[in-house]
A and B are shown apart, each in its own frame.
Chain A
Amino acid sequence: MTEQSTTRRLMMQFAAPVGAVVLSVIASAFILMIAGSNPITAYGDMLRHAAKLETSVSMINRATPLYISGVAAAVGFKMNIFNIGVEGQYRMAAIFAAYVGGAVALPTVLHIGLILIVAMAVGGAWAGLAGALNTERGVNIVISTIMLNGIALGIIAWLVRSWQAEGEIVVVGVGTEEIDDSGLIPNLNFIPEFFGDIRSEELTGVLIIAIVIGAAYHVLLNRTVFGYDLRSSGLNPLAARAGGVPPKRMVIIAMLMSGGVGGLVGIAEIMDKGRYNPNFVGFLGFNGISVALLGRNHPAGIAVGALLWAFLDASSDILQVTGAAPKEIVDIMRGVILLTAVIGYEIVRRIRVRDEAAQAAARLAAVPA
């Protein structure tokens, strides 16, 4: 009986996300047919492209910042704090980290460490501001983080412009000073090269940071008292408070952690380009939220979500090349996956609650009175 319920539970665990993907594939096929494209050709192109080694490397590169961003969002979501301002936090963090990194000359480990610490501190401070506004003045976190996104973009535009005016930026539109090699995390090309030729792709070394963040998140959540407090304040804030968890402090700590991790989202880009570039890659914050929702805030689930999003990114590129379908179809797929997964998880949760109630009832009936 136990064995049967375990398989059932596992199946249900995956029913929602798999169902969401299947539904989005079907829905997109219909849309593609209406738009006059052949969905089979398009899907074939996407899969063939993803199967190439260099595409896999590029997918991991794209998934790395998404994963970090997903964990950043998940830390808050776990306790029902909706930090939807990772977008602003990582951009602020990235520009300051790149500026400091470009301004100093240090031995490798110290240099990289300094860049990471600045990124985490700035990201944490920007998110912590929203946390403090909430605990001290009762300002809604969703609204304040969104407003701080807008403010961050304004400040960054101003910084870039004023540096240009001071002549610190030699070529217009380039960004911050270039970081010395000592500050750049080396690539991990030896891993994919073991499997074959990866052409011009480079596997980002930030992957290691992402893995460390994922592991730390898992340990924190499941093996520490703080993680227990975090989860319990999310599940039942009143009970957690009665159990001695200070609610205000939890909000501040969760925001600091969320923003601190969020600050590292831009690191992959900085390490790749060696500077903060005005065309800095955007929307990693919002895509990270999608990935966190898709992965149910679970460290492994977020990774799967990030890879799925990266796959769709890569697919959009190849569709543009082959012309089998408009590349914007991946945006539709993302939307359908996200919306159906979110609803699917809730359906599965209800079924599970009902199952548990039925099991408890059965067990109670089995006990002689």
Chain B
Amino acid sequence: MNDLKRTWNRAPAWITWMIYAAVGVFILTVVQSLTDTERLTSATTSSAMLRWAVPIMLAGLGGLFSERAGVVNIGLEGMLVLGMWFGAWGTINYGPWWGLVIGILGGGLGALVHAIATVSFGVDHIISGVAIIIAAPGITRFLSSEIFANYEGGSITQSPGVDGVGKFTFPFLSGGNIGGWTSPDILGWFIDKGWWFVGDLASVARGLTFNLSQMTVLAYLLVPLSAWVLWRTRFGLRLRIAGENPQAGESQGINIIRYKYIGVLLSGALAGFGGAFISSPELNGIYLEGSTLQRGFIGLAALIIGNWRPTGVMAAALLFGYPTALGKRDLEGTATHSLLLVAVIALAFIVLWALSRQKTSDAILAGALALLAGFWFLSADTVPKWWTDIQPQVFVILVLVFFAQRLRMPMAVGQPYRKGET
């Protein structure tokens, strides 16, 4: 037993993540065999999850850079709005890649205001963020009335249709092309065999590797890139010292103000990317007012659950994206209904985990919720639409309820810093 535990702890992170994911798919497969849905492990669902999670993940990564530099960025939601608008505007006028660049600059503009307010003037981080959340939709509303309303198919609340970038399919895994040669589609072959669990695993994986937007690929590449920059470069070390102990950094001659500015600006740029992605055909295909759907805040929740680490943020974003992705096409509510059984199993695991750590209150809470979900699951065959609508938010709160207390945030996050003061 102890040997097993040691091996587990020594295994590289990517292997443990893979095993977690496989266990997750296994639970979904079991539930799927017990209920009458095929959506839980379908490639459509996993592909939708991958896309839906992008803005959440980018907002979370944005929060990561900002909070690692010691600045809380509640304004991410506002920066998503700016990214959405500028991304759509840029795409319509200059094509999708320039649109992405312009969307990033739009989000960065919101971040610049936040940086000036919090870093240069010492305004409370939450207050400045709230002001940006409130101001950003007003600015885009004005811009839409001046610009999109004059375009054919546009109006005060929305832009005309927006083009997307090219697609990418992984070679060998899902049969992508390499220089004109079509590689074998290994995952597709497994799906065709239809073996229990193996087929489901292949189907989930194929959704994650087949016909992706290049923008999606770029977004996910930012995860290892962020990890490398923050933990493997001198720049990252300095940025993190600004969030952990700025006075110590200052004593080493580091220009803390500059690193805080860079951290906040990068966070706005990432949120701007997230916003542009929402407007891209991968999600909405137009700029639509009010369509951030709190994903800036869900991104912050992903940052907390992800323990202020890039891989954690990505995993949490995918987790938060899953119920929405599932609910999107689940008009009759059967797939969402079977998700209740998944919740029962997950809560049962939490009960066991809490009991093993002698956390009685956690165990009682999880047990009660499991009973509630179980009762609901047995008493109906479908769930109503309103539940599908509020499920993402309920899910975020529940995850925070069980896991928010075990985590460690950067030491000096949210604290005002002035040069030369201790």
A→B interface (CB under 8 Å): 31, 35, 77, 82, 84, 133, 137-140, 142-144, 146-151, 154-155, 157-158, 161, 286-287, 289-290, 293, 326-329, 331-332, 334-336, 338-339, 342-343, 345-347, 350
Contacts and interface: CB of A to CB of B under 8 A. Distances in A.
A154 B397 contact: no
Contact of A342 (B123, B142, B145, B384): B123
Contacts of B400: 133, 137, 139-140, 143-144
A143 B156 contact: no
Contacts of A137: 400-402, 404-405
B405 A157 contact: no
A329 B131 CA distance: 17
A143 B63 CA distance: 13
Contacts of B304: 140, 143
A230 B23 CA distance: 48
B322 interface: no
Given A150-B390, A154-B389, A339-B113, A293 B130 contact: yes
B206 to A, nearest CB: 32
Contacts of B116: 343
B418 to A, nearest CB: 9
A343 B123 contact: yes
A334 B390 contact: no
A139 B404 CA distance: 6
A149 B74 CA distance: 16
B291 to A, nearest CB: 13
B49 interface: no
Ranked nearest first, the 4 interchain pairs of A and B with the lowest CB-CB distance are A331-B138, A335-B135, A154-B390, A158-B386
A347 B142 contact: no
Contact of B74 (A138, A142, A155): A142
Given A137-B401, A143-B400, A154-B390, A346 B123 contact: yes
A146 B130 CA distance: 12
29 contacts: A35-B146, A82-B126, A82-B130, A137-B400, A137-B402, A138-B405, A142-B126, A143-B396, A146-B294, A148-B397, A150-B294, A154-B387, A154-B389, A155-B390, A158-B384, A287-B134, A290-B134, A327-B145, A328-B146, A332-B139, A334-B138, A335-B139, A339-B113, A339-B131, A342-B128, A343-B117, A346-B117, A346-B121, A346-B123
B313 to A, nearest CB: 14
Given A138-B404, A139-B400, A144-B400, A339 B300 contact: no
A147 B134 contact: no
A133 B134 CA distance: 25
Contact of B138 (A35, A335, A345): A335
Interface string B105-145: 00000000100110001110011101111111111011011
A151 B293 CA distance: 12
Contacts of A293: 127, 130-131
A347 B121 contact: yes
A289 B156 CA distance: 25
B177 interface: no
Nearest to B142: A328
A161 B385 CA distance: 11
Contacts of B392: 150
Contacts of A327: 145
A237 to B, nearest CB: 13
Contacts, number: 132
B130 A343 contact: no
A346 B127 CA distance: 11
A143 B400 CA distance: 10
A133 B126 CA distance: 19
Given A137-B402, A139-B400, A157-B386, 17 more contacts: A133-B400, A138-B405, A139-B404, A140-B400, A144-B397, A147-B396, A151-B393, A151-B394, A286-B133, A286-B134, A327-B145, A334-B135, A335-B134, A335-B135, A335-B136, A346-B122, A346-B123
B85 interface: no
Contact of A343 (B121, B156, B387, B389): B121
B131 A326 contact: no
B134 A328 contact: no
B89 interface: no
Given A158-B384, A343-B117, A326 B142 contact: yes
Contact of B130 (A150, A154, A289): A289
Given A342-B131, A343-B121, A139 B384 contact: no
A137 B401 CA distance: 5
A331 B401 contact: no
B388 to A, nearest CB: 9
B325 to A, nearest CB: 17
B58 interface: no
B256 to A, nearest CB: 18
A35 B396 CA distance: 42
Contacts of A142: 74, 126, 297, 300
Contacts of A326: 142, 145-146
A140 B122 CA distance: 22
Nearest to B362: A137
A154 B297 CA distance: 17
Nearest to A345: B123
B328 to A, nearest CB: 15
B202 interface: no
Contact of A150 (B300, B393, B404): B393
